[in-house]
Amino acid sequence: MRNLPVQPDASSGRVRLDKWLWAARFYKTRGLASEEIDKGRVRVNDAPAKPGREVRIGDRIELRQGPVSRTVDVRALSGVRGPAPVAAQLYQETEASIAERQRLAELRRLAPEPAMAYEQGRPTKRERRELDGWRQREGTPDWNSRWSASVQEHKPRR
């Protein structure tokens, strides 16, 4: 194992949970890590956690990142965010967590979420023209012919 960047309080075995999650690159900012902890998406040793909780080597952390759940064991402490290869040495993901993550990724690949399809959303200009042409060929009335409102001339009041 390389020398990990260790903050002065990390040598005494004291690093805040939100700071460790940020340093281990699970969340982009400490504020985001703190929000996720407050929402109950992070547990330490099967117990609810608070952002200020001290992390120790050997703790088991369960966290969610969007739809992905992970379970990791703390291997080293750091309060400094470093490069990704160094951050990966701060923890070790459990075998069960890796297997579950791969299983869910395979399920997402085989049966993607319908809302994530490219065809969803507002049609392009070309697609709108194709739709209008299709509607006119099928004998449906023109879009503007369905309106019953008529334009009336208004005489100004005197």
DSSP letter at 12 equals: T
Please state, in angstroms and rounded to a whole number, the distance separating the CA atoms of residues 13 and 29. Answer: 22
Q: pLDDT higher for 123 or 34? A: 34
| Sign of the alpha-carbon dihedral angle for 55, 56, 59, 65 | positive
Domain residue ranges of the chain, discontinuous segments joined by +:
8-114
pLDDT of residue 121: 72
Please state, in angstroms and rounded to a whole number, the distance separating the CA atoms of residues 133 and 2. Answer: 66
pLDDT tens-digit readout, 52-83: 999 999 999 999 988 889 999 999 999 999 99
The Cβ-side half-sphere exposure at 144, using a 13 Å CA radius, reads 1
pLDDT band, residue 109 (cuts 50/70/90): confident
- Fold type of domain 8-114: 3.10.290
pLDDT of residue 27: 93
The share of the chain scoring above pLDDT 90, in percent, equals 54
pLDDT of residue 118: 62
pLDDT band, residue 20 (cuts 50/70/90): very high
pLDDT tens-digit readout, 131-156: 888 877 766 555 565 555 555 665 66
pLDDT of residue 1: 45
Q: Which residues contact 10 (CB under 8 A, 6 or more apart)?
A: 77, 78, 79
